[in-house]
Amino acid sequence: MKPAKIVRGVPTSVQRGVGSRELLDLRWNYPVHTADPAAAPAHGTGVEARRAALPREQAIAVLAGNDPRPLLVLRECTVCNKTDDALLSRTESNERTLVLARFFRCVKLPVDVVDPTHPFNALFPDNDAEHLFVSARDGSLKRPLESDTSRVELWSAMEATLLHAYGLDAAKVTKQVLAGLDRVDECERKVTDLETRLGALMETPNVDVTKVKKLDADLRAAKQAALAAREGVAKIFEVQPRTPASEAAGAAR
């Protein structure tokens, strides 16, 4: 097995280009829930309502928002604060994790979520709680995970959640995405090569206009191919979760 290479501090199996890295970027949501103004003292005292923990069902609803995707929820601790270390490995390739994460609504909660008064404390009551979990959008089918969970266990939990939410063969989709990223990298390398060649040609004495036109046309075509390759991968991520039977029944009434 080839050693993992580091990209933006995150190990990957290969050196990815700019387009691929953007497609694999973790997209965290940082939910904020303010205290209910109605709970504040009356008579214009100016005293704000006290922060209080939400019931679990309500906390999950706030985290999910209007996003139909399943949840991947991570709590930061004093060790992993401001990093992705609780989810990503520093020594192994993270590409499979990053691909799977794109099908989740990824939520990161702060260190003080274990405070009993934190709005989302019901999800992580104390420091003995798991570091992260994946679940259906409504919080059901929860699979608690730890930062030192094996990659196989992590992927198994994520893939089982995706199978339930989307009916996806996650292993097959991951292969499709990685093959698409290889194509993106290939196209972007060609663009870079053509730009270099065109730049060098433009700096030569008695520039050959015919060659310039040919390289310029090749460059435009290469950029279009690179764009198409990126859009192809992005389209895979656009798949929509299946509507739960309970929601479908409610909509029909």
**Quick check: 186 and 17 in contact, CB under 8 A?**
no
Reply yes or no on whether the pLDDT at 36 is more than 80: no
170's tokens: 């996650």
97's tokens: 């994790």
DSSP state of 14: S
* DSSP line for 100-136: HHTTSEEEEE-GGGGSTTSTTTTTS-STTS-SEEEE-
Quickly name the fold that domain 5-33+49-167 has. Glutaredoxin (3.40.30)
* Residues in the chain, total: 253
Q: At 194, which amino acid appears?
A: L
Segment 94-115 mean pLDDT = 96
Task: Look at residue 143 in the predicted model and tell me its pLDDT.
Answer: 97
Work out the mean pLDDT of the chain and round it to a whole number.
Answer: 87
Task: Look at residue 78 in the predicted model and tell me its pLDDT.
Answer: 86
Question: What distance in Å separates the CA atoms of residue 81 and residue 110, rounded to the nearest whole number?
Answer: 8
Q: Give the start-to-end residue ranges of the domains of the chain.
A: 5-33+49-167, 172-237
Segment 75-80 mean pLDDT = 89
DSSP state of 143: E
Could you tell me the pLDDT band of residue 93, with boundaries at 50, 70 and 90? confident
11's tokens: 């190990």
Could you tell me the pLDDT band of residue 253, with boundaries at 50, 70 and 90? very low
Q: Where are the beta strands (DSSP E) in the chain?
A: 5-7, 10-12, 28-29, 71-75, 105-109, 132-135, 143-145
Q: At 8, which amino acid appears?
A: R
Which of 153, 136, 119 lies closest to 50, judged by CA? 119
Question: What distance in Å separates the CA atoms of residue 60 and residue 167, rounded to the nearest whole number?
Answer: 22
**Residue 2: partners with Cβ closer than 8 Å, 6 or more residues away:** 13
